[in-house]
Amino acid sequence: GAVVSQHPSWVICKSGTSVKIECRSLDFQATTMFWYRQFPKQSLMLMATSNEGSKATYEQGVEKDKFLINHASLTLSTLTVTSAHPEDSSFYICSASRPGTYEQYFGPGTRLTVT
């Protein structure tokens, strides 16, 4: 199999604080991980592509200083939402792909609510 986990599954934080979301590939090494954001009843919006050992590639319009991504190992990538605001409230989903392949394996997502 190819299982991807995310932690936490949901989090509530106060405005101005930072939140870290973890994405792990449990049974395979993922050289590339992706972070998406999904608004209610909308499709996935790619935020950034994360490669192990190098800086993440952010999509246009995504603030790299606000959404810090670290891909420290072949099985772990983290997304830190810094100085969170209510408009950052969303469903964040990560995915991972095996080396040299295009298909992605998705985590269950993290629901972030900023009050």
Partner 1 sequence: AQRVTQPEKLLSVFKGAPVELKCNYSYSGSPELFWYVQYSRQRLQLLLRHISRESIKGFTADLNKGETSFHLKKPFAQEEDSAMYYCALSTGGFKTIFGAGTRLFVKA
The residues, any chain, with a CB within 8 Å of residue 33's CB and separated by 6 or more, are: 23, 25, 49, 50, 71, 77, 94, 95, 96, 97
Residue numbers 10-49 binding partner 1 by CB under 8 A: 32, 34, 42-44, 46, 49
Distance CA 115, CA 50 (A): 28
Task: Give the binding range for partner 1 (CB under 8 A) out of 14-22, 63-71, 83-91, 95-103.
Answer: 95-103
> Looking at beta carbons only, is 75 or 97 nearer to partner 1?
97
Distance CA 73, CA 64 (A): 20
Please list the alpha-helical segments (H only) found in 1-115.
Answer: none
**88: three-class secondary structure by DSSP:** helix
> Looking at beta carbons only, is 35 or 84 nearer to partner 1?
35
> Looking at beta carbons only, is 16 or 99 nearer to partner 1?
99
Count of residues in contact with partner 1, rule CB under 8 A: 20
> Looking at beta carbons only, is 77 or 114 nearer to partner 1?
77
Residues that bind partner 1 (CB under 8 A): 32, 34, 42-44, 46, 49, 57, 93, 95, 97, 101-109
